[in-house]
Structure 1
């Protein structure tokens, strides 16, 4: 008689397999993987290195923080929002509920996928920043920047998950772009906020990306010195609120 596999091992394997297949699924989807992996490094090369060269190392550091945040937000919003909308529309969520798998494996797999894609983006940006833009940061600053961006996957995964519950698979990309692109610009991820009109500078804290960008800027040494606790509290609140809203819609 075969010896039954212990439950903890079986559960762990289920989480790992779900995460692996989710990552491979999206890596093999060019409409997701190519824009998510290439846009942040290409934009940083254009605006942070070629066009922003006159600003010197400070401009390159500022835009490194901005495009790092831009990259992880895109992965989180599209990785959760579009795929959740498609999975709901195609009945995949219902199928997974009927399978003998841990209830949280679906979301954990998506979170692992987002973190892996975000890590690849950050490695590409770091290579460009150090090798082409000649950004010189201490090991602690590199680590703080990477950790800030990776932790930032959480609030925007929650936001993406909620957006994915609002519309179907066809409407999800348009809805997410309507949120993602204006938020990135108005939060100072592409250009310094000081270059925007005063009204937009005043309204910038209303965007979640602004708070993550402020933390990332302080990590690389170009922040305005505002209290980190405020930005972290806002991001934590966003994570909790949008996960709760998404959960209510998913269980309906």
Structure 2
């Protein structure tokens, strides 16, 4: 545990110096929340019984997860592999587990900070009142988080270098961000696009958080729970097995 904490302190300082994580992980969801509220916050979200603010609150919680899972973790690990930093770690007491745990811990802090800012602004300044249970929402949030992080680590383990990782992460990140309902209300999508977007695991995660926050089923919450657990087990298992130092 001490090794993970020591590594996390160093990685945390490096993360703070990178403006990308703060801008896309924390600044963007807050900006989208304020913009959505000003334009259509109190309006009914399509044919749903809730408003766009109700929909955006739970959706924007996952933006920080998406940014850290599909851009932060895999790109950092692949960059370290390209620069032979991982090869240097190989001759130290640090194991793949230590490195993976460190990257996940730093990413979690960024994502939780993003979600906390969205929640505080929504409740304190925008008058948001959640109909569901906060404890259940937090538990669901962390389930979505570890499931997406397992996919990010799997990408990091499969990509041989930073060029391939950049391409793969872009192909995964942008569809997840814009089609899952994280920043663009899912209710605005045409029915055909909604069917396509439902294939994305982050879409299922967003629907789970909506189900909890709205205290009503959105999609199939039971199926989503099983799906996310399976993704977590398979993703972390394959990532650990396929991890390469160089």
8 A Cα contact 2:144 2:205, kept in partner: yes
8 A Cα contact 1:69 1:189, kept in partner: yes
| TM-score, structure 1 normalization | 0.84
Q: Residue 136 of structure 1 aligns to a residue in which SS?
A: coil
Separation of aligned partners in 2, 1:44 and 1:91: 40
Instruction: Give the match for residue 43 of structure 2.
Output: 55
Q: CA offset at residue 208 of structure 1?
A: 0.4
8 A Cα contact 1:15 1:102, kept in partner: no
| CA shift in 2, pair 1:129/1:25, >3 Å | same
Deviation track 1:46-86 (CA, whole Å, cap 9, x = no partner) reads 12x11222426732121011111122121222221110110
8 A Cα contact 2:69 2:149, kept in partner: yes
Separation of aligned partners in 2, 1:95 and 1:211: 39
Q: Residue 98 of structure 1 aligns to a residue in which SS?
A: coil
Q: CA offset at residue 212 of structure 1?
A: 0.7
| CA shift in 2, pair 1:142/1:15, >3 Å | same
| TM-score, structure 2 normalization | 0.86
The 5-angstrom pairing of residues 126-165 of structure 1 reads 126-137=119-130, 141-164=133-156, 165=158
Deviates more, 1:196-205 or 1:113-122: 196-205
Q: Which runs of 5+ in 2 are unaligned?
A: 45-49
**Residue 170 of structure 2 is aligned to residue 177 of structure 1:** yes
**Residue 187 of structure 2 is aligned to residue 214 of structure 1:** no
8 A Cα contact 1:73 1:152, kept in partner: no
Instruction: Give the match for residue 241 of structure 1.
Output: 234
Deviation track 1:125-146 (CA, whole Å, cap 9, x = no partner) reads 01221123210136x7333333
* Structure (1 or 2) with the larger CA radius of gyration: 1
Q: CA offset at residue 167 of structure 1?
A: 5.0
Structure 1 vs Structure 2 CA RMSD: 2.3
Separation of aligned partners in 2, 1:101 and 1:193: 43
Q: Residue 51 of structure 1 aligns to a residue in which SS?
A: helix
Instruction: Give the match for residue 86 of structure 1.
Output: 79
8 A Cα contact 2:180 2:206, kept in partner: yes
Q: Which runs of 5+ in 1 are unaligned?
A: 1-11
Q: Residue 93 of structure 2 aligns to a residue in which SS?
A: coil
Separation of aligned partners in 2, 1:17 and 1:137: 38
8 A Cα contact 2:60 2:115, kept in partner: no
Instruction: Give the match for residue 27 of structure 2.
Output: 38
Q: CA offset at residue 222 of structure 1?
A: 5.8
Separation of aligned partners in 1, 2:7 and 2:129: 38
| CA shift in 2, pair 1:227/1:199, >3 Å | closer
